[in-house]
């Protein structure tokens, strides 16, 4: 039985959704990666992705899972979520030929 989810896009999207959660301690540390990592544990990885994209995804997955129990600076957590956005953009380019621009309010 899969505890949180499997899949690929679904796992990445649910992981990213944790960026919107307020997971800051009174001291200002962030523990957003704790819940975010859960979605990556049983993530399926498509076989037909370009090798470099697969490597980037696996590196980020490993990093998020390794850091999930740490109280981190919010800036460092944001950097990991920004890496995930870059992966989404690369997937859009690979799968659909789209050059995506992401802007934040």
Structure confidence by residue, pLDDT tens digits, 42-97: 999 999 999 999 999 999 999 999 999 999 999 999 999 999 999 999 999 999 99
Residue 103 lies in a domain: no
Residue 17 lies in a domain: yes
6-57 confidence digits (pLDDT tens): 899 999 999 999 999 879 999 999 999 999 999 999 999 999 999 999 999 9
Structural domain boundaries enclosing 90:
9-96
Q: What are phi and psi of 30, to 5 degrees?
A: -120, 135
Cα-based torsion angle of the residue sequence 34, 18, 50, 58 in order, rounded to the nearest 10 degrees:
0
Residue 27 lies in a domain: yes
In total, how many domains does the chain have? 1
Residue 71 lies in a domain: yes
pLDDT of residue 78: 94
Residue 77 lies in a domain: yes
Using CB atoms within 10 A of its CB, is residue 20 exposed (0-12), middle (13-18) or buried (19+)?
A: exposed
pLDDT of residue 22: 78
């Amino acid at each position: 039985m899969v505890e949180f989810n499997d899949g690929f896009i679904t796992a990445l999207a649910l992981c990213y959704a944790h960026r919107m959660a307020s997971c800051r301690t009174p001291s200002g540390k962030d523990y957003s990666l704790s819940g975010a990592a859960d979605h990556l544990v049983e993530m399926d990885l498509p076989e037909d992705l370009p090798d470099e994209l697969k490597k980037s995804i696996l590196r980020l997955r490993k990093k998020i899972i390794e850091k999930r129990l740490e109280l981190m600076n919010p800036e460092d957590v944001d950097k990991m979520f920004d890496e995930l956005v870059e992966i989404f953009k690369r997937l859009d380019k690979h799968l659909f030929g789209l050059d995506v621009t992401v802007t934040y309010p």
